[in-house]
Amino acid sequence: MGISFKKTIAIFGSLIAVLCACQEQEKKLELNIPTVSQVGAIIEMPFDIEPIVGAPFSMPEFTRPSFPDVSVNIADKGATESIAITDIVNRAIDEVSEKGGGTVVIPQGKWKSARIQLKSDVNLHISEGAIVEFSGVVSDWLPAVFTRHEGIELLGAGAFIYANGQDNIAVTGKGTILGPELDSEVRKRTNTSADVEKDVPIDMPIEERLFDGMEGREFQPPRTIAPINCTNVFIEGVTMTRSAIWNVVPTYCENVIIRGITVNSLGIPRGDGIDVESSKNVLIEYCTLNCGDDCFTLKSGRGKHGERIGKPTENVVIRYSLAQQGHGAITCGSETAGNIKNIYAYDCVFNGTYTGFRFKAFRPRGGGTENVLYERIRMIDVNDAFVWDMLGSRRWIGELADRLPQRKVNELTPIIRNLHFKDFIVESSNKFINANCIPELPVKNVLIENGEVHCNELIPKLNDVDGFLFRNLSIYSKDNSINILDGKNIGFTNVQFNVPYKKLALNLQGQNSSPISFQSESGQVYVNDNINDLALKNGFVTNEE
């Protein structure tokens, strides 16, 4: 026990030094965490984009795009509310782009359209009071275009507003993008329970991956705004509601700014808010997402398909934003094959989401997530504040969803590591931490510090982790149990537990588990064998029965 104990403490000390060298400065830090009324699309944004300060990786200096002083109003081109504006809008975009760029304006009114295709140097401006309702007829989304569906390249409907291989494009304005009617053909033909990976072998040529809904073929629905292979993308101000599936989806893009948008997709299966897919240098700010699935989501391709392409999602900043409802407030995965790295979120609020911080990466998905910093976050009425879901379900991945037996580590075994969470408040949650990880490749190097947590359940599962540090926390829980299975190098430093019975019910199982350390502010350290006996004397646990 003595040797294991000393080794454990030495590892904790090293991790603390690496993950946070400025310990003395942090002790003086005063938390300034925003509230619901201080974030999201309701906030009056500054016109210019503020610098990014505090990111633990290099980011470019983001600026608003510029377009030539040329403006074309579709009403002046013969558009009327009685017929679809698709051809008129697309001709106007082509014309403006060919002449060097400018703005195409959709004025106030209720308009109908099928796919709008953006071109370089064009700003599509949807004016305040304008509603563009997109078609629910499958044939209106022909011809099929190059896109990616859940991490797999194919030919399909693309998006309500689509672009491929363009530069300096924008969608702006205070208007509304409205998806098809709920009883439309597009929705009836969409099989949201299908697993497209089973329909697309890795060696199938792209021209054979046709999901256009014609001649008995399957149909994959259009996203809302989905540029692919584009640079310098700007999306600002618009409201999106009643989507067909995911909403804003930049894929293989670089230098993307998404600011001040609102997404309302409650009740829409797979109604994600923003999905950043295999894209680099992305800024998301002042957004409000109210979603039928995950809200702010990072993805990088699925399994062998994503590994072959090898494009990560990297250098992403999310700030001043509100996840109002949805499955996950900020989710990494589960498509992780190209890797997700360098993610920084700060000054955000999660209100009513099912999970707060969510990490998904199943065994055959590959890649993983690393180098994440989240700070100054407020969570209200979430079910699980911190979630690691790396086993998934048999519905999608069969027996690989079973924790045991351990599998041999290979190129499709995802790894999640180097995650840092600091300066946060969980106002109300059901569970503080719920972690189901992979035994053959545990989640590594997680630091959770400087926070206040209110929960019903403390830590119902912390399975298969290596290097979890909790520091400077005040935890108020209606439950006193910490359940750990095959967890190594886990430590609590200056953590105040306010739990029933003034005791922690520590359940440590698994032959790969190592002792858990509890260290008081004075530096005295105790391991799990005697923490309950010494808790009352040394101030770890408070609260009346």
Number of CB atoms found within 10 A of residue 27's CB = 10
* Residue 287 near residue 258, CB atoms below 8 Å: yes
Tell me the average pLDDT across 489-513.
92
Number of helices (H) and strands (E) in the chain: give both, helices first: 8, 34
Dihedral-angle region of residue 257 (phi above 0 means left; psi in -120 to 50 means alpha; beta otherwise)? beta
Residues with Cβ within 8 Å of residue 216, at least 6 apart in sequence = none
Q: What's the pLDDT band for 30 if we cut at 50, 70, 90?
A: low
Q: What is the pLDDT of residues 358-413, one digit of tens each?
A: 999 999 999 999 999 999 999 999 999 999 999 999 988 999 999 999 999 999 99
Question: E-assigned strands of 265-365?
Answer: 274-277, 280-285, 288-290, 296-299, 313-319, 322-332, 340-351, 353-360
- Distance (Å) of CA 123 to CA 33, 87, 101, 167, 254: 35, 17, 8, 11, 17
Quick one: which of 360, 363, 357, 278 has its CA closest to 316?
A: 278
pLDDT of residue 502: 84
Q: Is the pLDDT of residue 543 over 70?
A: no
| Burial zone of 84 (CB within 10 Å; 0-12 exposed, 13-18 middle, 19+ buried) | middle
pLDDT greater than 60 at residue 2: no
Higher pLDDT pick, 354 / 2: 354
Contacts of 302 (CB under 8 A, 6+ apart): 150, 151, 152, 197, 335, 337, 365, 366
- Taking the alpha carbons at both ends of the chain, their separation in whole angstroms is 32
Q: How confident is the model at residue 533 (pLDDT cuts 50, 70, 90)?
A: very low
**pLDDT number for residue 529:** 46
Mean pLDDT of the chain: 91
- Token pair of 301, please? 């391709």
Residues in a beta bridge with 226 = 162
Residue 152 has pLDDT above 90, yes or no: yes
pLDDT tens for 256-311 read: 999 999 999 999 999 999 999 999 999 999 999 999 999 999 999 999 999 999 99
Q: What per-residue string of b and e applies to 413-436 under the rule 16 or more CB within 10 Å gives b?
A: bbbbbbbbbbbbbbbebbbbbbbb
E-state strands within 71-180: 71-73, 102-106, 109-113, 116-117, 122-126, 130-134, 145-149, 152-156, 159-164, 167-172, 176-178
Number of domains in the chain: 1
Share of the chain above pLDDT 90, in %: 85
Average pLDDT over residues 426-436: 98
Name the DSSP letter for residue 219.
B
Retrieve residue 479's tokens: 């439950």
* pLDDT tens track for 232-260: 999 999 999 999 999 999 999 999 999 99
- Residue 123 near residue 67, CB atoms below 8 Å: yes
The CATH number given to whatever domain includes residue 369 is 2.160.20.10
pLDDT digits (tens, 9 = 90+) for 47-105: 999 999 999 999 999 999 999 999 999 999 999 999 999 999 999 999 999 999 999 99
Instruction: Show the domain range for 123.
Output: 2-542
Report the C-alpha gap between 39 and 289 in whole angstroms: 11
Whose CA is closest to 350, among 385, 299, 387, 316? 385
